[in-house]
Amino acid sequence: MNVRDEAIRLLNQGLSALSTQGYEEAKSFFQAAIEKDTSLAAAHNNLGLIYLTQSQLEEAKQEFEKALELDPKQYSAYNNLAAIAQGQGNLSEAERMYLKSVQLNANNPDAYYNLGLLYIQQKKHVQAKTALEKVTQLNPENLDAFYVLGTVYSELQDYYAAIANLQFVVFNQPQILEARVALAEMYRRQGKYPIALNELKGAVELAPEDP
């Protein structure tokens, strides 16, 4: 087995450990992979993820930037750098990085979702709607995206679209309290008080001890 193959083997072991939240074990594998082959961009990117989960932001940033230096098409590294920038309040830089990520991979729902949340933070609800609609197309199982999209439609006063998205969430996961409360509010705004009350009753049944 040559050096590159050994590095990839270690990388894959790290990814396996990461999938079960074995962060320290994964970290050791990624570091070992880099020691074997410093040009392995994916190892740097995933080591950066470990640092990010451990709130070692500067170390994480260095690894993501190294990954992009080695492979400028590492779209997930752009997504990760965007998350750091957003967390530090640099929203324009975060937007630039998220857009670069989706430009490199238009089928990456995670970057679109993060971009949608960023637009909400910036109160750019039309742009948020577009990004979140893309998420629901790419990953129809992401109920969080449908819920957030419903709230965005509410901000845009498109109550029919808001209801459609919130109904989808409630139909698939009726135990999500926030979705039922939000859906009740949409019905209330339309003057459909009996339906709104019914949704609120359902919410109360889910959490009878909540104040």
CA distance to 107, 139, 180, 203, per residue, from 172 (Å):
24, 14, 12, 15
What is the C-alpha to C-alpha distance for residues 185 and 151, in angstroms, rounded to an integer? 11
Q: pLDDT grade, residue 48 (50/70/90)?
A: very high
Helix axes 23-36, 41-53, angle to 10 degrees: 150
Instruction: Give the whole-angstrom CA distance, residue 196 versus residue 181.
Output: 9
The predicted model gives 15-35 an average pLDDT of: 95
**Of 115, 143, 144, 140, the residue nearest 130 (C-alpha):** 115
pLDDT band at 123 (very low <50, low <70, confident <90, very high): very high
**Stretch 3-16: mean pLDDT, rounded?**
94
Q: What is the tens place of the pLDDT at every residue in 172-184?
A: 998 888 999 999 9
Residues 91-96, mean pLDDT to the nearest whole number: 97
Contact 124, 146 (CB under 8 A): no
Block residue for tokens 């074995």: 22
